[in-house]
Structure 1
Amino acid sequence: MKLIGKLALIGFIAGLVLIAVMKVVQWVTGSPAYVLLFNFDYIPVVNTWEPVWLVGFMFHNLTCIVSAVVLYYMLRPFGMEKQILPYVAVYSIGGGLLFSLTALSDQPPDFSDGEAWVWWTLGHAVFGWVVGSLIKRWIWT
């Protein structure tokens, strides 16, 4: 259970880094990609929960935590769980694909916003780097 706790903390920290990176991108470029981090209006039932800002924040954090734990255990049978590159690759590709969920929402960014997609994907590459780096340094199994 100690391992899952460390992985959960890693996912949470990396999720906060992702928020910070995307907020800086929004401030510097004006890109609305940051908004997508907290968007859940395309998920039935959950999209009725309030307060929206808190549900969005919790949704983001839960997603980050679960993804860090799950990917670690998916990489473990291949002996790749302590390598940084698989985390960067999976989260970059996965993030790039998940951007398409914006098509299900009226909130920005628009599905056709290529610049937002690039920032979103790069932000998820940073998330993957943080997850992989922290796992490499904190997990001794």
Structure 2
Amino acid sequence: MNLPRFVIKGSVAGVISGVILGLFLKTIEIRWNINVYTLLLNVDYIPVFNRFSFSEMVEFSFHLIISVILATILLYVATKHQWTRQQMMVRTIGISLFIGLVLYPTTALSERTPPLTSVPALFCWLFGHLLYGVALSLFYWDKNETQAI
């Protein structure tokens, strides 16, 4: 696989999967008033960033940049190690859930995010990352291929 196709495919997968995660968490926040979308966009705990007040679009752009980087790295690793479809699904979902689990405690570092002990927030947060992992892994496949591209 040449680099431009690799980067393009990883970027598209990252943007679309990141938008899916964002829309899911925003829907949860609007419908049930659980601040998981706020948590997704939260940069209060990052030293230089916490000095500024960013718009929702800028914060969402930060989220998408991270998503594109993650998606491209995962695609690279999957291609290099020739993961099968099943390995891609399991590993991408597992990594996405792990990242969600590792990031969730940052909720304790802001007044705007859910309490650390909020079970509904944790459940929605992890379910959103599960959806992200599923969406991401589906973008890595072409119809006629047996391995990740």
- Bin the TM-score by the shorter chain: 0.7 to 0.9
Residues 3/76 of structure 1: CA separation in 2 closer, same or farther (3 Å cut): closer
Percent identity reads 25
Is the alpha carbon distance of 1:84 and 1:72 closer, same or farther for their aligned partners in structure 2, counting shifts above 3 Å? same
1:136 aligned to 126, 133, 141, which one? 141
Structural RMSD (CA): 2.1
Q: What's 1:125 paired with?
A: 130
Partner of 1:51: 54
Equivalences for residues 1-141 of structure 1 within 5 A: 1-80=4-83, 82=85, 83-137=88-142, 141=149
Runs of 4+ in 1 over 6 A off after TM superposition: none
- Structure 1: which 5+ residue stretches go unaligned? none
Q: Is the 8 A contact 1:11 1:67 kept in 2?
A: yes
Q: Post-superposition shift, 1:68?
A: 0.7
* Unaligned ranges ≥5, structure 2: none
SS of equivalent residue, structure 2 residue 115:
coil
2:101, 2:126 within 8 Å by CA — same for their partners in 1? yes
Contact 1:84/1:136 (8 A) holds in 2: no
| Residue-pair matches, total | 141
Contact persistence 1:40–1:59 (CA under 8 A): no
Structure showing greater Rg: 2
